[in-house]
Structure formats: structure tokens, C-alpha cells
Amino acid sequence: MKRLDLQKLGQYAIVIVVAVTLNFALPRLMPGNPLALIAGVDVGLLTPEQRAQIIADVGLDEPIINQYADYWKSIVTGDLGQSYRSGRPINEMIAERLPWTLLLAGGALVLSSIFGIVLGAISAWRRGGKVDVPLLTGMIALQSLPSFWLGMLLISIFAVNLGVLPSFGAVSPAANLEGWAQVRDVLEHAVLPITTLSVLSTPGVYLTMRYSMLEVLGEDFIRTARSKGASERRILFGHVARNAIAPVITFLAIRFAFSFGGAVIIETVFSYPGLGRLVFEAVSGRDFPVMQAAFLVFTAAVLMANLTADLLYPVLDPRTRSS
Amino acid sequence: MDTVGLHRPMSPGLPSPHHNDQMLADETTDGLTRRSKRGTNSADRQLGTVTTSSALDRSAPATGPRPVLEVTDLYVKFGLPDRQVHAVTGATFQVGAGEIFALVGESGSGKSVTALSIMGLLQPPARVEGSIRLDGRELTTLKPRQLRSVRGREIGMVFQDPMSSLNPVHTVGKQIGESLRLHLDMNRSRARSRSIDLLGQVGIPDPRNRVDDYPHEFSGGMRQRAMIAIALACDPKVLIADEPTTALDVTVQRQIVELVLDLQRDRDMSVIWITHDLGVVAEIADRVAVMYGGRIMEEGPAGEIYGHTRHPYTSGLLRSIPRIERSTGSQLAEIPGTPVTITTSPTSCVFHARCPMEADDCQTSLPELVPTDRPDHRSACLHHAELEEAGELWSDVAAGTRRVGGDDRVIVRGSGLSVHFPGRRRSHSVVRAVDGVDLEVRAGRTLGVVGESGCGKTTLGRTLVGLIKPTTGSVEIAESGGRRVIQMVFQDPFSSMNPGMRIRDVIAEPIRILSLEVSDLDARVAELLEMVGLPADAAGRHPHEFSGGQRQRIAIARALAAEPEVIVCDEPVSALDVSVQAQIINLLRDLQDGSGLAFVFIAHDLAVVRHISDEVAVMYLGLIVERATRDDLYSSPLHPYTKALLDSVPVPDPDHVRSSEPLHGDLPSPSAPPAGCRFHTRCPIAVPGMCDTDVPRLRPVAAHRWVACHLVDPDSPHIRQPQGGERQ
């Protein structure tokens, strides 16, 4: 892989700076005394000395520019501070939660790209046919489903009525399973949230793929391939697919990052101990350092996903390779 | 392909294919005309055509080329939701072995649809009826698998736009190899080495290295060569070329024409060349069929079609195109109206509404393609016999002398103009689109700007109107009545107009923007519409309700609304059909006649520029290489590039002889122009040590005449003899 475009790297750097700055500014822009955010409802009971102490502890008495520099320092050194609520190091909390979110988002990414791309390709290939029309209608309907509703529906069917799958958590509590039994347990818990996320992601992938395929099918070079005597299958795999997939990759990258945010709702519905749930807890507990850290992770996820798409593009399309 | 079972269901009332016998008889002569055409000497060719065809007229048995492809009573319908389009209705023709057969027509004439139905490439909602035989084998009833073994193997096809016709994600070599592997069962390495051979045969330099390039790394001309290599990979019997040179520059067009002629001679294959350009047809074709409204109007040997035209449509086409070799004193003949779309089974001549010879029977009966008084020449005009006595059908409209209005003052002056764009990402190069241009436009005159694509002419035009800020230099526009007004008319009449606005608002917009004092806006719009030849009720309609030519009229009306002193027209007719082009060119001339309005007319078509310009500037890679009055430039071009450009223009006359070799190579990249004279890399007379090191300045060589060439003598304008070089 050739070295990345300097311009591109510059763009990423700008995004990071803007995101970090926003992250820094947000709690400070919120209405109300920061003290109230830190100490919560107890703020009225504190003595002036205690207040000064708290403010000095978290560095809020420093000039704003120093606070900003400190924030950068903490990010660069990887020390995200401590939770106001639990007092635990945030690094630890994130490390605990991130894998679960990655499992959900990654699982949903794989499933939705497989279903979306395959169904989208079939739909476009037989445009207006017996498969395409119901599929297209169904996908548009699915796309408009609210995620919490779908999650609750699945819980009520599979966990409550049928009782075949667990409805909350990532592992069975206090089961102390090992080996395959543990894997199985984790997967059982992940099935419903992943399904919910996948169902919500698939229509977008499908629509992007279908549209992209239709675009490519109308290209002159498809006619050239036909005029060479290539079979339909050969045209589909040799000429259409690779050209059509590039926009889908971009979509998947955005979608993957979006799943992180979407996880807030899904993980709450399924009481899943991921990053989204952490955000939910932090928001309800006004635990600002945790929220800031979680947002930072979201930003990083978005950037990583975009970077991957940027790196994949030249592989798929020689025109985007820098010579 | 939805053709199975639809084979030849003749609808009642439609004529039966009675001309088959005639076609066989015709075949006897066409081999001889063909062979005569192969001579490069025109006298030779003409002799052959006349003597042999009259001697053998319908007598001897078929000694000519056996027909390779026979199309009989071809009907193609498109069942659209709201209507049926009869794209082809009853086309019958044959293509002989080793013959170059041209299908000529405007857009919508059915020529491309005919080609696609031969290839079996039409898909529903298209329905193909009739018979298409290749070497006696019926193609319309073949199963998809059998049809695929014909495509690419026995018939190869080349399309108009080589960039979009090549798959951008596969190497050129892989795309050529695909045909070989499909039909000749070659393995990867054999296909690759054969692809290298083929690239060499179509004139790609260094094919061993270029075989692994992607299409975007090729120039336009090279891409079309690669397309030809793909089409010819399996040595097909027939090559179908659908507008193969339309997207290319004239100099490259000429290279491609010569290449196809060479390849055709070597392989003795048949070629169907589809084009709207009667110039290219005259250059390449043995036989010509002229199509209009889905029907063949006239068919015969090329010399016959041009020399003894037997259909009013063909004669109209020939009269309406600006000719580089004829006088420019008159207006172009116009074919009124626009090309038709046939939506019901035709029962009358499809051309009658636009025909100057229209008689009552033209509306009541459908003319068949029948033999004429000329040998081997058929016409679908009921009155073809009267055509010769009818004299000039397409009379010159208002052939009076042009009055030059205005007072000769300079309205626009560009000095030292250059426009540099940032190059591709990461490279620090700049694209020198315009690189030091001086020009002036005088009141009531037209300055033509010509050059190949990429020479910077469009950028220059946009800089003049202020759409692009020049990197250096300045544009001065003379003030008149307290205002400086310059307007522009763009190439594409479809995308250069807001589809959501009514015509009234499109035209009134400049009036509003400039706060012009107009007492009655509607009356002013109506007046402007009348000036461009449109009815006043057009004001209430939307752009999509108009044809390309009408929209270009609206664009002109919009420019006129600003009461400009100069209008920059950027390729205003190149998106239009041949018969409509003449209308717009005449309109522009009329608007200028006697008024002080000046034009900058930017175009790649040298014949069109000649017809409309008073002065012409020739651009090459961002520079003006020659500037002269129209007549001087066209009658005695001085710069070798001007000469080459003029010589590349196809002349619609099969007897026209080329005077020199075509220009080699492509336009170099404007981000890295060659040192010295920018043209030296392609110049036939470049002198090493001078032309490749010293930059020639644009010097005056005579009154109103400037040339940028070391080899032009400033005292007596002609090209100096380079040492040992050939005479120009």
C-alpha cells in the first residue's frame, strides 16, 4: 500500500481537531454551573470551600486555554480520567464495553452487507421483475421501522413468547461457562441485538447496491461486453459487480460508524453492556467525562471506517490510484 | 432478445419484400465500384465507377462480392408506456464481402438501432421483426447462447465514446483478452500475447507495456484503437462501427478512418460504418444508405449518392452542411423543421412534411425503395425521376451580400491572457489551459476560434465573459451606454437551461439581473422570441417541450435579452443534428447582419467556423498559433498545424483527394507542454535544434495576419524550405 495522500491525512487531522474541540466545548457550553454537573443535586449542600476544592480538583479554575491543552494531553497520553459517578478509570470502563459494541456493530455489518449486496444485485439484475418489486417494497418498509420498536418486537416474540433466546445482557449472569458453552452463550445473547441492527442496516445497503448496479448496467461498457459475446453471468461478475461495489463500500463505512451511535438505543433496549449503554448511563447520570470519552471513541470509529473505505477504493477502482 | 417467434410476421397492408431480386441484380455491380474505390487516386476511382457499372448494369451473373450480411424487412418497435416508437420500419439492405457500407442519418433515424438489432443487442421493450442473415444463417431466431457465439466472433462492434465503452476497472489487455478467451478458448498467457499483437496492429506504440494500462491512462484516440482491437480480436467477418469518430478530434478522426481502411483491406472484412457525418462517409464508404425516420431513403454506391442524388432529403443534407471547399457567400440551405419520431406505422413518406417537392401522393402512399434511372441506385422518393429537372431544391436563403454593421471599433480586447488550473492531486503541476493569448473582437464581426479538444478554446471563451478569472492578463470590454455587456451561448442546450423555469423567465432573467429598462416585459420577450424564430406562445412553456435546435434558439434569445455587444458562442451547433445546425448558423448570421453585434464563435468544426467567421484564430495547447482573416486562413494556411487541421476535415465528396499524410499522435498534455514550439512533436516539418528549443512568437507576417512558426518567412508569407524537407 502506497503512502497515504498528504491532503487526505490533512483532512483527517482537521476532523480530529474539530471533534476533540467540540467534545471539549460541549459540557462547558451546557447551561448551568459545571459544578452542578459534577456534584449533581448535592451541589446545594456544599460549603464554599468544598466547592472550590472540587473545582480545583477537576482543574476548572485554570484558564480555559490550559484546560484545553490538558484535555489534549490526556487524549494523547491515553488517560481519559475518571468517572464522576463510579470514580473508576474511564479507560478501563471503555475497554470493558468496547468489545461488546464491536461484536454487535461488526456482526451487523457482515450480515447487512451480505444480504444487502446479494439482494440488491439480484433486484437490479431482474429490475421490475417478480423478485425486485416485492423486495424493493419490503426494504423500504423495513427502513422506516424505528429501532427500539423492532427490538421490543423481537424480544416479545423470541424471548417472551417463544422463550428461545435471552432478552437482556451479553452473558448469562453467574453461569461461569467455559469453552464452547461460553461462546454459545455469548452468541445467543447477541442474536437479537445483531438481528435488530442488521435488519435496520440492510435496506440502506440493498438500496445503494441496487441503485449502483442499475447505474453500471446502463453503462456503455456493459454493451461492449455484450457485443463481445459475454454471457450474462460473466457480465454480472466480470463487469458489473466490481464497478457497482465501490459506492456500497462507502455506504458500509458510514453505516458501520452509525451503528456505534445506533447502539445507544439497541443496547438500552437489550440491556447490552456495550458502549451505547455506557453512554446512556453516563447521560442519565450526568457523567460528563464518560460521555466525552465515549464520543471520542465514536469519532475514532467513524474515522477508522472512512479510512478503510479510502484505502479500499483504489483497490477497486484504478482511476482513484495516484500515479 | 425478444425476437424468437416474431420472425417476419408481415403486418397486413405493409409492402412485401419485392425488392429482393433487385438487390441481387444490384450486387453484380457493387463489387466493381468497390474495387475502384480502393484506388487512392480519385480519377482512377471515378473511372472505375462510371465505366464498369454502366457496362455491367444488370447483365452478368453475380460476380461481385457475395453478400455477407442481408437485412430484409427489418422492423424495430419500442413499446414505451405512453406510445410506440417505430424506430425502424422496413429496412432492407445487403453488405457484400469486403465492402464498406455506410448507414447515414440524423439522430432518431434508426441507424444505430439497425446496428444493434444486427448484433442482437436490443432488449425489451424493443421488438425486432424481419430477417437478418449472416452468410445465409438467420440471426433473429438464434437462441441466446448461439447468438453469443456470433457476437464478438463473427461480428465485432465499435461504439461512439471509447472512454465509456471500456470498463474502467480492467486493463486494456484484459478487455481484449476477454474476447479471445471467450471465443478462441485461449489461456491467459496466450490471450495476453495476442492482445499485445492486436494493440500493435491498431497502432498503439509500445504495446508490450501499454497492454497493462487502464483505459483512463490512454488518450481518446488510443482508446478507440483499443476498442477496434477488441472488436477485431477474433477476426470477425463484419465490423460494425457506430459513430466511431464522432467523439474524436478531426486529426484523430482521420487517423482512425485510415486505420479502419487499412485493417479492412488487410483482412478483407465487411464494415458497416454508422455516422451522421457525410464527410467521413465520402471518405470511407463503398456503398451508402441514407436513413430518415426509420426508413432507408436512398441507397447506392458512394459516388452515386453524392454525384447523382436521387432523394430530396439526401440533397438537403448535402446542401445544409457547411463545406470547407466551397464558397461561403451564401446562407446555408435549411431543411425546415426537425427530424421526426415515428409513432404509428407510417402510411406516407416520412419526410414529406419537410420536403420542398412534397406532392399530394407523398401524403397518401408509403414510398418503397425502388431502382432509379441510375445503375445500382435505389431511392424511396415517389418523385425521384423529377429530382434532376427540379433544379436546386434547397435554394440559398437570402443570398445577398453580408452587410457588416458597427464601426470597426474594438469591443473586446484580451491581452496576455493565461489561465492555469491546478493539476491533478498531489502533483504540483498546473494545467496551462490558456497560456498567453492576445485577441480583439471588433463590432459587427465574428472571431472564430478553432482547435482540437483540450486546446483551451472553451476556457478562453469563458475567460472572455468573466466566468473564469484569468491567471494573468486582462479582458477589456468597451463601454457602451454606460454598460459593458458580453453574453454567452453554451454547447449543450439541454443542460444549460434551468428545467424548472418557463421560457419567459429564462429569457427575462438577464433583463432583471441587469435592471434593464423595459416598459413591457412580455412584449420584450415576445420580440426576442420572434428574433430567434420562435412563436410568442413559447414563453409560457418549459425547456423540455422544445427540441435541441429550439432550445439553442432560446439560449440565443436569452443572450440577446441583455442587449450585448458581443456574444461568445461555445460550440453552439455541435450538439445539434446536421439539418438543424444550418438553421442556427443562419440565425446567427441574420442577427449579426447589419447590426453591430459581434460574435466569438468557438468550435472544433472548421467548416462551420469558416462559414460564420470574419477572422479566425487557431489554437494549439493554450496558444494561438495562427490568426488571419477567414479567406486568407482557409485559402493559404501558413502554420503547419493549421494546414494539418484543414486537411483532416472530411469533405463530403468521394472524389476529393487528400493532399498529405494525417497528423500523427495526440495532443500532448497541457500540464507539460513540449518545449520550444508546442507543435513540434507532431509537426511534419519541425527542424531539430530550433523548433524543439526556441518558442516561436506570434508575429505579424502580413496585414491582419499573425503566425507563430519559425519556418514562416515574415517578409513573404510562406513556409521556408527546411533543409532537405519536403515542400509544403
A220·B151 Cβ contact <8 A: no
List C-alpha distances in Å: A259 to A106, A140, A206, A262, B625: 9, 19, 16, 5, 60
Q: State the Cα torsion B440-B445-B450-B453 to the nearest 10°.
A: 80
Task: Count the Cβ atoms, other than its own, within 10 Å of residue B360.
Answer: 8
Backbone angles phi, psi at B494, to 5 degrees: -85, -45
pLDDT of residue B240: 93
Stretch among A303-317, B325-339, B643-657 having the lowest mean pLDDT? B325-339
> Which chain A residue has the Cα nearest residue B144?
A231
Backbone angles phi, psi at A301, to 5 degrees: -65, -45
CA B594 to the chain's CA centroid: 31
Best B147, B163, B178 member to test A by mutation, with max A CBs in 10 Å, is: B178
Average pLDDT along chain B: 81
Domain span(s) for CATH 3.40.50.300 in chain B: 20-154+236-386, 410-631
A228·B216 Cβ contact <8 A: no
Residue with cell 424468437: B4
B153·A229 Cβ contact <8 A: yes
Q: What is the pLDDT of residues A255-307, one digit of tens each?
A: 887 777 777 888 888 888 888 888 888 888 777 788 888 888 888 888 888 88
Please answer whether residues B349 and B355 qualify as being in contact, where contact means their C-beta atoms are separated by less than 8 angstroms. Answer: yes
Which amino acid, residue B616? V
B178·A228 Cβ contact <8 A: yes
Looking at chain B, the whole-number percentage of residues with pLDDT higher than 90 is 22
Q: Report the greatest alpha carbon distance in chain B.
A: 79
B473/B464 Cα distance (integer angstroms):
11
b/e per residue A293-305 (b: at least 16 CB within 10 A):
bbbbbbbebbeeb
List C-alpha distances in Å: B390 to B254, B310, B386, B394, B397: 36, 11, 6, 10, 17
- Residue A228 near chain B (CB below 8 Å): yes
Please answer whether residues A93 and A99 qualify as being in contact, where contact means their C-beta atoms are separated by less than 8 angstroms. Answer: no
Best B122, B145, B169 member to test A by mutation, with max A CBs in 10 Å, is: B169
pLDDT classification of B450: cutoffs 50, 70, 90: very high
Q: What is the pLDDT of residues B484-530, one digit of tens each?
A: 788 999 988 888 888 889 999 999 998 888 888 888 888 999 999 98
A229·B179 Cβ contact <8 A: yes
Query: Measured between beta carbons, which residues in chain B are less than 8 angstroms from residue A322?
Result: 425-426
Q: What is the pLDDT of residues B532-552, one digit of tens each?
A: 888 888 888 888 888 888 899
Strands B287-292 and B295-301: antiparallel
> Which chain B residue has the Cα nearest residue A219?
B164
- Residue A316 near chain B (CB below 8 Å): yes
Query: Measured between beta carbons, which residues in chain A are less than 8 angstroms from residue B148?
Result: 229-231
B178·A322 Cβ contact <8 A: no
B212/B549 Cα distance (integer angstroms):
43
| Nearest CA among B240, B19, B215 for reference residue B134 | B240
A39/A44 Cα distance (integer angstroms):
9
Give, rounded to a whole angstrom, the gap between the first and last alpha carbons of chain A.
Answer: 13
pLDDT of residue B327: 67
CATH fold of the domain at B20-154+236-386: Rossmann fold (3.40.50)
- Residue A317 near chain B (CB below 8 Å): yes
DSSP state of B592: H
Q: Residue B161: which of A220, A228, A230 has the nearest Cβ?
A: A220
> Which chain A residue has the Cα nearest residue B146?
A229
A227·B148 Cβ contact <8 A: no
* Minimal CA separation from B85 to chain A, in Å: 20
Q: Looking at the DSSP assignment, which residues form a beta bridge with residue B472?
A: B418
Tell me: pLDDT of B566 over 70. yes
Query: Measured between beta carbons, which residues in chain A are less than 8 angstroms from residue B157?
Result: 224, 227
Residue with cell 454480472: A236
pLDDT classification of B24: cutoffs 50, 70, 90: very low
Options 3.40.50.300, 3.40.50.970, 2.40.50.180, 3.40.190.10; CATH for B410-631 is 3.40.50.300
pLDDT of residue A33: 62
pLDDT of residue B44: 38
Determine the 3-state secondary structure of B128 from DSSP: strand
Contacts of B370 (CB under 8 A, 6+ apart): B19, B22, B378, B379, B380
Please answer whether residues B292 and B91 qualify as being in contact, where contact means their C-beta atoms are separated by less than 8 angstroms. Answer: no
The structural domains of chain A, ordered by start, are 6-77 (no CATH), 93-278 (1.10.3720.10)
SS (HEC) of B298-315: EEEEHHHHHHCCCCHHHH
Give the burial class of B389: count Cβ atoms within 10 A of its Cβ; 0-12 exposed, 13-18 middle, 19 or more buried: exposed
Query: Measured between beta carbons, which residues in chain B are less than 8 angstroms from residue A226?
Result: 119, 121, 151
Size of interface A-B (CB pairs under 8 A): 81
B60/B373 Cα distance (integer angstroms):
19
Q: What is the pLDDT of residues A181-219, one digit of tens each?
A: 888 888 888 888 888 888 888 999 999 999 999 999 888
Tell me: pLDDT of B562 over 50. yes
